[in-house]
Amino acid sequence: MKQTHQITLASSTVVSGIGVHSGDSVKMALHPADADHGIVFLRTNLPNGVDRLIDARHMNVAATELCTVVGDRNTGAVATIEHLMATLSGLGVDNVLVEIDGPELPIVDGSAAPFVDAIDAVGLVATEAPRRALRIRRPVRVDAGKAFAELTPHDAPLRLDVEIDFADSAIGRQRWVHESHPRAFRRDIARARTFGFMRDVEHLWKAGFALGASLDNTVALSEDGVVNPEGLRFPDEFVRHKLLDAIGDLALAGHPILGAYRSYCGGHRLNYAVLEALFSDRANYELVELAPRREHAASNVGAPAFGNSLR
């Protein structure tokens, strides 16, 4: 697959299920899209009967509490997009039309693995259009108490360094560093599931969240540890899932990122905030066109090559 060219699906594929927060049944179809289309949601089955297109971009984020929501909740929005966005970004997919007939993406098993499987079933195709990326030129950082998130220059596909620190002994302090590559995403990140604490359930229900959560789609934690009878998929599944969320949220930049991301005790709100900080000043980044590797230049072996800057 030409990673220097834009990629889309070979054909359409469908994933159905329920929303983890809404509890509503939903059908989602992923369709191939033309070059430069980007990731766009087509929200159907709205009360007014009018379908709505929503670009999966940071400027369309409507909420970041417990999940990432794009669109306008009064005229049409889509919630819990982060696992699908992480899948598309992790597999290097640039252009897809996501048709969905409900307010929230299906949670399936709580990870990105079912979306990976659905895409693998139809395959990917490269277009003739060149791929463009956002290269970080200056560090940007956001802080929230002890938590922080930052993007820094790093002339290679996005490197993520995510650390969490929970008082609960079942989680504790965990860290994972991920170098963006489809193989690494499949192996290390895609299967990590969302998680939550049993003590928070009643509060979440009253607030309208977690109405579709169950042991089939969430790693649940009690005072005694993990409740799920099958246990964890990874000893550090919690931080891997936080990293998965970060990949999905950062995909709202609209292009692959050439840079390094670091977060401590982060989440959807900080992931979104660092994108806002990035795009607040045009000097923070530049748009570059990816070019084939210059394998004859020994100093560049293993590093991406760039075409002209597209400022």
Q: Which segments are annotated as binding site for Zn(2+)?
A: 83, 241, 245
Catalytic option among 5, 154, 268, 296: 268
Binding-site residue numbers are: 83, 241, 245
Residue 175 has, within 13 A of its CA and on its CB side, a CA count of 6
| 21 catalytic per annotation | no
- Provide DSSP, 5-42: EEEEESS-EEEEEE-TTT--EEEEEEEE--TT--EEEE
Q: C-alpha distances in angstroms, 171 versus 67, 105, 189, 231, 266?
A: 20, 27, 17, 13, 15
- The structure tokens listed for 178 are 């991920």
Active site residues: 268
